[in-house]
Chain A
Amino acid sequence: MHELSVCQALVRQVEDIARQHDAGGVAMIRLRIGPLSGVEPQLLEQAYPFACAGTVAEHAALVIESLPVTVRCRECGAETPALPSRLLCGACGDWRTTVISGDELVLASVELCVTPAAAT
């Protein structure tokens, strides 16, 4: 539901980066998203065309890398995969864990089309 807001924030960031690099266009945007970020990659993909229309990112391909949920146990130290609704240690079953992957909502990188004039 809030994915359009997230997309608009993304496009503003990408516009800033393109401006800093004097880029004429953006070819690709790579995101890293974990299920505990509260953002659905599929909804983000659907919202993206509306957010980027008329901007420098209009023709950019959106590539989303979905990251798995991984927890580290504070009791036994094991690092194990987990489900978003069950962040228990996969080794000893304790609930005192720390999420070490799975809550990311990150703009990882962008590929810019730098115009020849700007590149020289």
Chain B
Amino acid sequence: MCDTCGCNVTPGNEHLATKKNERGHDAVTVLRDLLSENDSQAAHNRAHFDERGVLAVNLMSAPGSGKTLLLEATIAALKSELRIAVIEGDLETENDAERIRKQGVPAHQITTGSACHLDAHMVHEALHHLSLDGIDILFIENVGNLVCPASFDLGQHRNATLLSVTEGDDKPAKYPVMFRAADLVLLTKTDLLPALDDFDPARAEANLRALANPAALLRLSAKNGSGLDAWLDWLRAQRAALRRRAGARIGLRPKIQPDGARLHRHGSNLKFRGLG
């Protein structure tokens, strides 16, 4: 099946795909995801990770919620057990990649200029600068932003979304697209909770469930190390899941991919699906 170039339109089904309308224009039914170009590249990236048995985790959050500090703590804790590489995304500076390299692991910095998100092509380009030989886990630290990164599949296996307790427990309700896509939510900076009596972790979890998302919500502080073990166990479990799926027809994927179920198999779309 190919639905990128139109080769699936045959003389037999062409009448379904194109028809002249009253203005004399050829109306062409497409029903294709707007980001299909990005999604194809993302699928290519994912295949690349699958072949090498590298678990790719996309870290997303608002700026300043502690993604880089979490990575530093994670690398320090897993140093003797797993080999880690990191792709960093920021608008400007090499600062984060330099912090990661100081931990002794390879890191490549993507500077997006003014782009507010990473896309699959940027990650593909970054992979040309980062050897995955012998790597167990690749973290992709997305641009700090709770809006745009949620719409672009990068080829990751899992989305981990951070919510720091200095933000607000209603963040999942305010940014539903982002938190709906999370395979795991990490409540960070919990060492500050005693000083923040208006942040209620239970309320944050209720707002996450209201998005029909069953993802686990783990509380941790990368600063004092509390709760870090549950996160490390989650990473180990995802790696085990990736290995179990090796060679399977459908490998490990995020629960909701940005390209997920947009072409729902129901209603008026149904009659055109035969074209695919």
A residues neighboring B (CB under 8 Å) = 1-2, 5-6, 9-10, 12-13, 16-17, 20-21, 23, 27-28, 31, 34, 36-39, 71, 84-88, 95-101, 103-114
Contact in complex: A1, B116 (CB < 8 Å): yes
B117: interface (CB < 8 Å):
yes
B248, CB-defined interface residue at 8 Å? no
If A105-B262, A107-B31 touch, whether A37 touches B212 (CB-CB below 8 Å) is no
In angstroms, how far is the closest chain B Cβ from the Cβ of A92?
Answer: 13
A104 contacts across to B, CB distance below 8 A:
262-264
The A interface is mostly helix, strand or loop, or mixed, namely: mixed
Residues in B whose Cβ lies below 8 Å from that of A34: 262
Q: In the assembled complex, which residues on chain B have CB atoms less than 8 Å from the CB atom of A39?
A: 34, 151
| A95:B29 contact, CB within 8 angstroms | no
Using known A-B contacts A100-B264, A103-B262, determine if residue A36 contacts B210 with beta carbons closer than 8 Å.
no
- A106: contacting residue among B28, B148, B258, B262, CB under 8 A: B262
Q: Is the CB–CB distance between A13 and B29 below 8 Å? A: no
Q: Is B25 an interface residue (CB 8 A)?
A: yes
Known: A96-B214, A107-B32. A17 touches B260 (CB 8 A): no
Q: How far is the CA of A21 from the CA of B30 in the complex (A)?
A: 13
| Residues of A with C-beta under 8 A to B172 | 85
Whether the pair A103, B260 counts as a contact (CB closer than 8 A) is yes
Interface centre among B30, B33, B38, B148 (most CB of A within 10 A): B30
Cα distance A12–B115 in the bound complex, in angstroms: 19
Q: Across the two chains, which residue of chain B brings its CB closest to A36?
A: B177
Q: A9-B34, A21-B18, A107-B31 are in contact. Are A85 and B173 (CB under 8 A)?
A: yes
> In the complex, are the beta carbons of B212 and A98 less than 8 A apart?
yes
Assuming A13-B32, A104-B263, what are 9 further A-B pairs, CB within 8 angstroms? Answer: A2-B151, A34-B262, A38-B147, A38-B151, A84-B176, A86-B211, A103-B262, A104-B264, A106-B31
Shortest Cβ distance from A32 into chain B, in angstroms? 9
Known: A9-B35, A107-B30. A37 touches B151 (CB 8 A): yes
- B30→A109 contact, CB < 8 A: yes
A5 touches B31 (CB 8 A): no
Please state if B25 and A88 are interface contacts (CB–CB under 8 Å): no
Distance from A77 Cβ to chain B, minimum over Cβ atoms (Å): 14
Note all chain B residues with C-beta closer than 8 A to A114: 25-26
Also in contact, A10 and B34, with CB within 8 A (given A2-B148, A101-B264, A103-B261) = yes
Cβ of B180 within 8 Å of any chain A Cβ, yes or no, is yes
Task: Looking at the assembled complex, report how far the CB atom of A8 sits from the nearest CB atom of chain B, in whole angstroms.
Answer: 9
- Contact with A105, one of B35, B147, B207 (Cβ below 8 angstroms): B35
B212 and A109 contacting across the interface, CB-CB below 8 Å = no
Among candidates B6, B27, B207, B262, residue contacting A37 with C-beta atoms closer than 8 Å? B262
Assess whether B253 is interfacial by the CB under 8 Å rule.
Answer: no
Instruction: Tell me which residues across on chain A come within 8 A of B145, comparing CB atoms.
Output: 1
* B262 / chain A contacts, CB cutoff of 8 Å: 34, 37, 103-106
Q: Are B211 and A87 in contact (CB under 8 A)?
A: yes
